[in-house]
Amino acid sequence: MSDATETISPRKKLEPKEFTVIKPSVSNASAKRLIDVTFSFLALLILAPSLFVLVAIIILLDSRGPVFFTQLRTGKNGQSFVCWKFRTMTSGEGEKNDHMLVVTKIGKFLRKSHIDELPQLWNVLKGEMSLVGPRPHMLSDTALFEKRVPEYHQRHAVLPGITGLAQVQGYFGHVADDDHLTERIRLDIEYVQTWTILGDMAILFKTIKMHV
């Protein structure tokens, strides 16, 4: 149920570099947070009593278990937080046994359409995520990927996002190999080093266009 998978063989552990310190102007940082709060609040206000309720009913009819799935993910500055998603696998899924469980019928649709990610609007509203930023990885994936890419932790200099530069370039879902991982992290770091409000708007527009 993560955005990556442990299919990459480990190498000798490399010491991660220090977090890249991003100091955007106060106006840019405030504008980004204002957009996050406004959009996530309005989206939850509209979606919670309609789409969320419909999805919840279908999930409960499709399989036993809770409607939502929560999992610890790596956030800004490497701090973990509880990430929310609609449940897409059989009940009992977790970080260590993800690949032993079965994706439900409705879960396949929710994943393909990325509707399973919509509860993360709550994470955005709480300030744990942003609308745009590097996707948050499972803690086990973070431990694995930091061994593969020395600059990996630079992506944690900003809030993780529901969508990001890597995603609109086609990098989402499982990590297939080292080249896939390296390019995905490169795009994450590129976002960290170059983000702007207009850039975020462009990524949001591309994301919506991809899924409509």
pLDDT digits (tens, 9 = 90+) for 83-133: 999 999 987 544 444 555 789 999 999 999 999 999 999 999 999 999 999
What contacts 36, CB < 8 A, 6 or more positions away?
124, 125, 127, 130, 131
pLDDT in tens, 155-209: 999 999 999 999 999 887 777 788 889 999 999 999 999 999 999 999 999 999 9
Give 29's pLDDT tier (boundaries 50, 70, 90): confident
Only one residue has tokens 């609609």, namely 86
- In sequence order, the 6+-apart residues with CB closer than 8 A to the CB of 96 are 140
As given in the structure block, the two tokens for residue 55 are 């999805």
Cβ neighbors of 200 (< 8 A, separation 6 or more) are: 32, 35, 131, 132
What token pair was written down for 57? 């009913």
As a whole number, the mean pLDDT across the chain is 86
Q: How far is CA 124 from CA 120, 182, 199, in A?
A: 6, 27, 18
At 42, list the tokens: 């309005």
The pTM (predicted TM-score) of the whole model is 0.84
Check pLDDT > 90 for residue 22.
Answer: no
Q: What percent of the chain has pLDDT over 90?
A: 72
